[in-house]
Amino acid sequence: MDFATRRSNTVRLIEGGISTVTRAYGSGPGLLSSRGFRGVLGVTRRSTPYPTCLASAARMRGPSKIARGFPRGPGNQRNFAAFPSLFKTRCAVTNSADDPTRIRTGISGLDDILGGGLTKHRVYLVEGTPGTGKTTLSLQFLLEGARRGEAGLYITLSETAEELSAVAATHGWSLESLSLFELVNQGDLDPEREQTILHPSEVELGETAREVMKRVEELRPSRVVFDSLSEMRLLAQNPLRYRRQILALKQFFASRDCTVLMLDDRTSDPNDLQLHSIAHGVISLEQAARDFGAERRRLRVVKMRGIKFRGGYHDFILDRGGLTVFPRLVAAEHGAEFAPRVASTGNPELDELLGGGLMPGTNTLLSGPSGVGKTTTAMFCIRAALDRGEKATYFLFDEGIKTLLVRCKALGIDLASYIERGVLDIQQIDPAELSPGEFTSRARVAVEKSGSSFVCIDSLNAYLQAMPGEQFLLLQMHELLNYLNQSGITTMLILGQHGLVGDMRSDIDLSYLSDTILLFRFFEAKAEVRTAISVVKSRTSSHERSIREFKLGAGGLEVGEALRDFEGVLSGLPSYKGDTSLLQSSTK
């Protein structure tokens, strides 16, 4: 087959919806040259999904480079109308929910990470130290199969059937739909009986191995869990026999069309990667104790042959009901169409400062010392959004919900009515108990399921304490803010600063991530402590650069005239050189 024919066939494959070019085209001078698809799109000799290739090539070389690889002619005049999305968004993990070669794990977050689940009829390794949730994960895997009418078998060397049933009961599950098989009895654990469980030649099979094969032949299970490999390692007594046993198990289960999870508690040498090389995929579970607060659990897909998965660490929790996994947020995989129309804050003077108001798809940072009015200002802006018919979600880290409701009501903001109508959701967050991944998941639920168009995080200081380090906060906050912006959400972030007047410092600098920065300051004038407000940054509008007086009271939020006759207001100790009128004090 000549080069022109091969390339023409490739185009027809793409136009027909087939997204993979296999090795069937050979290695002739066409497809492997810089003039063909392999050279232009960076495709290796392995089968590569075309959306991935095209998106990658578009980012690295630009559409014009790719266009040269497309022949001119009817149906393909060097345009990409058949697949325009390839050049609009970053290539994401494809969800293969309808792929008949994939099966669900029973954990929606893990399925999302894997792009639709596990490949059927393969052997997978689930590793983790005791207490990370391996048994719970495997039970969810088997129960998901039972819900789909698939037979499940749990082979246990480390726990009795009674113990497994007790574990399941704590999650509210019944294992009646599963088959539990205790592989090792007291005789099998006798150190004088030096025999392997399975031998590759299947000649020297012991009684236990024959029972396993007999049980599998009888049940014909679609899903199998083997718990755990550490006992097999002890029975094998040497690495060579152990590896042969694992290979024999893999071959045996694969020949019976079983999808198998093998559990390992990492009691062997951490540098021993024999299991990693044998397994089709490896899922690693971890937990880490903190000096204060709940332990953090996370998982990572170490390898997964044949599918594109979302790499890196993903937080998860182990609670009643099983594992809940929170996939790491990748903002580039999300986006929504929205109208970027400026919305009022509810205060005309504050709108003037901001250059018109708040823009959907942007975030505003409210920065200032404690007690200056950041939270109350955010609540006034939220009330204006609620009165326009929007929904809002408020993540409250620092104070109690009752305290917030009481002090807002004293300022004329009755939040209870909005909560009762279901348009305002205030969530109390405990940073000692909540992982960053779970918090990000809550934000996504608020946007995607609850329909919130206004989100406020109060405050970033407490959110920082939930993170293991500042660099992780910046990266996760970058992804979260990008996600909210691309979804058309109006976001407010509250950041407390240290000190009251003079030199002000923050725990972390998020100014470069913020689209708008609203700065609050205390200052002294006429023997009173007053507050000032100013917009020091706005990416979306020509904002006012003056510093205005700011006051909260029973009448609501008041923004006065520009303090043009004051100098040094932001320092907290200004000098007065004029007759600018100040807002009337509430004190007598």
Cα–Cα distance measured from residue 162 to residue 249, given in angstroms and rounded to the nearest whole number = 25
Between the alpha carbon of residue 496 and those of residues 321, 370, 478, 480, 542, the distances in Å are: 37, 6, 19, 20, 26
Helical residues (DSSP H) of 79-150, grouped into ranges: 108-113, 134-147
Q: Is the model's pLDDT at 37 over the cut of 60?
A: no
Q: What domains are there in the chain, each with its CATH number?
A: 3-87 (no CATH), 102-328 (3.40.50.300), 333-522+533-547 (3.40.50.300)
Cα–Cα distance measured from residue 361 to residue 372, given in angstroms and rounded to the nearest whole number = 26
Phi, psi of 15 (to 5 degrees): -65, -25
- Helix 436-448 to helix 470-486 angle, to the nearest 10 degrees? 10
Among 14-18, 247-251, 384-388, the range of highest mean pLDDT: 384-388
Q: Is the model's pLDDT at 74 over the cut of 70?
A: no
**Mean pLDDT of the chain, nearest integer:** 80
Render pLDDT for 344-384 as a digit per residue (tens, 0 to 9).
999 999 999 999 999 999 999 999 999 999 999 999 999 99
Q: Which residues contact 437 (CB under 8 A, 6 or more apart)?
A: 298, 314, 315, 316, 326, 327, 328
Secondary structure (DSSP) of 472-518: HHHHHHHHHHHHHHHTT-EEEEEEEEE-SSSS-EESS--GGG-SEEE
- pLDDT bucket at 67, cuts 50 / 70 / 90: very low
User: Residue 490: beta bridge partners?
Assistant: 454
Cα–Cα distance measured from residue 368 to residue 370, given in angstroms and rounded to the nearest whole number = 7
Look at 535 and 229; give whichever has higher pLDDT: 535
Residue found under tokens 């803010």: 481
- pLDDT bucket at 471, cuts 50 / 70 / 90: low
- Residue-level pLDDT at 47: 37
- Residue-level pLDDT at 140: 98
Sign of CA dihedral 335, 340, 344, 345: positive
Render pLDDT for 140-197 as a digit per residue (tens, 0 to 9).
999 999 999 999 999 998 889 999 999 999 999 999 999 999 875 544 445 555 544 4
CB of 578 within 8 A of CB of 565? Answer: yes
- pLDDT bucket at 432, cuts 50 / 70 / 90: confident
Cα–Cα distance measured from residue 231 to residue 265, given in angstroms and rounded to the nearest whole number = 10
Render pLDDT for 242-299 as a digit per residue (tens, 0 to 9).
888 788 888 889 899 999 999 999 888 777 788 899 999 999 999 998 888 888 999 9
| Residue percentage of the chain with pLDDT more than 90 | 52
Look at 498 and 427; give whichever has higher pLDDT: 427
The mean pLDDT of 79-108, rounded to a whole number, is: 62
- Residue-level pLDDT at 66: 37
Q: Is the model's pLDDT at 3 over the cut of 50?
A: no
Between the alpha carbon of residue 153 and those of residues 159, 179, 212, 281, 442, the distances in Å are: 14, 5, 10, 20, 35
- Residue-level pLDDT at 190: 52
The 3-state secondary structure of 528-557, one letter per residue: EEEEEEEEEEECCCCCCCCCEEEEEECCEE
Cα–Cα distance measured from residue 246 to residue 36, given in angstroms and rounded to the nearest whole number = 43
- Residue-level pLDDT at 567: 86
- pLDDT bucket at 214, cuts 50 / 70 / 90: confident
Q: Is the model's pLDDT at 1 over the cut of 70?
A: no
- pLDDT bucket at 87, cuts 50 / 70 / 90: very low
Phi, psi of 299 (to 5 degrees): -130, 160
- Residue-level pLDDT at 96: 62
- Residue-level pLDDT at 546: 94
Look at 29 and 345; give whichever has higher pLDDT: 345
> Of all helices (H) and strands (E), which one includes residue 315?
strand 313-319
Best CA proximity match to 450, nearest among 415, 425, 480: 425
Cα–Cα distance measured from residue 287 to residue 131, given in angstroms and rounded to the nearest whole number = 8
The mean pLDDT of 192-218, rounded to a whole number, is: 58
Look at 214 and 409; give whichever has higher pLDDT: 409
- pLDDT bucket at 431, cuts 50 / 70 / 90: confident
Render pLDDT for 38-56 as a digit per residue (tens, 0 to 9).
333 333 333 334 333 433 3
Tally of CB atoms within 10 A around 484: 24
Render pLDDT for 570-585 as a digit per residue (tens, 0 to 9).
877 778 777 667 776 5
- Residue-level pLDDT at 536: 95
- pLDDT bucket at 28, cuts 50 / 70 / 90: very low
Q: Is the model's pLDDT at 61 over the cut of 80?
A: no
Sign of CA dihedral 117, 121, 125, 131: positive
Structure tokens at 234: 């002890």
Cα–Cα distance measured from residue 260 to residue 250, given in angstroms and rounded to the nearest whole number = 9
Structure tokens at 427: 């969530």
Q: Is the model's pLDDT at 489 over the cut of 60?
A: yes
